[in-house]
């Protein structure tokens, strides 16, 4: 009796790295975010002494946990979106991809700090890669909320969006067009929301 040939299983979404390398990589990403957040919080005046040091440590821990929660929330959004359409993406694997790809954000921020330190033509040279915020001094009249929302727009941010979409496409075994549209749309929506939040916090209407 002849049996129909078994279908070839889908390869699915792999982990970003081999198991022995994944945890050290994610740990280095976490350390990178810790340093970046410490640099940002260090610009806020909180006084001196043991109390200030504790406040800074607590602030750093909360900020880092919020960043991790953001990775998980982003992954959960994509997983639920595709599940509602009858497709499956492994949640923790996609979460690990999103966390690993945040290295692009860290690199962009590092290049931004480098450009701000050295000035000259460097901000103009690095802006297409690291983000439009490096051009802020060239366009002083632009709304502050707009800079906060879209200042990270650059090739590194675009690469992270594209690679996040590719991870979904691999998991779904489909072309990248729909995952890319979803990921770019989610990025755009988050940027607009951040822009509006900043404007509202400043007592301004984002709609003019």
Those residues whose C-beta lies under 8 Å from the C-beta of residue 91, and which sit 6 or more positions away, are: 75, 76, 79
CA 48 to chain centre: 32
Average pLDDT for 99-122: 92
Model pTM score:
0.85
* Domains of the chain by residue range: 49-201
Chain segment 42-88, per-residue pLDDT in tens? 665 455 556 667 777 888 889 899 999 999 999 999 999 999 999 99
Here the tokens at position 165 are: 């979409």
Residue 180 CA, chain-centre distance (Å), reads: 15
Q: What pLDDT score was predicted for residue 4? A: 44
């Amino acid at each position: 009796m002849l049996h129909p040939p078994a279908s070839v299983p889908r390869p699915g979404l792999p982990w970003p790295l081999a198991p022995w390398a994944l945890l050290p990589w994610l740990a280095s990403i976490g350390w990178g975010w810790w340093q970046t957040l410490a640099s940002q919080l260090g610009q806020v005046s909180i006084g001196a002494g043991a109390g200030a040091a504790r406040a800074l440590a607590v602030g750093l821990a909360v900020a880092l946990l919020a960043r991790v929660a953001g990775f998980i929330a982003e992954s959960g959004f994509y997983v639920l979106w595709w599940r509602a359409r009858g497709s499956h993406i492994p949640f923790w694997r996609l979460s690990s991809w999103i966390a690993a790809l945040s290295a692009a954000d860290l690199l962009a921020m590092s290049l931004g700090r480098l450009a701000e330190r050295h000035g000259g033509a460097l901000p103009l040279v690095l802006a297409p890669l690291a983000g439009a915020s490096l051009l802020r001094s060239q366009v002083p009249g632009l709304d502050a909320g707009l800079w906060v929302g879209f200042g990270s727009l650059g090739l590194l941010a675009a690469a992270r969006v594209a690679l996040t979409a590719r991870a979904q496409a691999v998991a779904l075994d489909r072309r990248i067009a729909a995952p890319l549209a979803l990921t770019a749309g989610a990025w755009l929506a988050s940027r607009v929301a951040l822009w509006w939040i900043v404007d509202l916090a400043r007592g301004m209407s984002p709609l003019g």
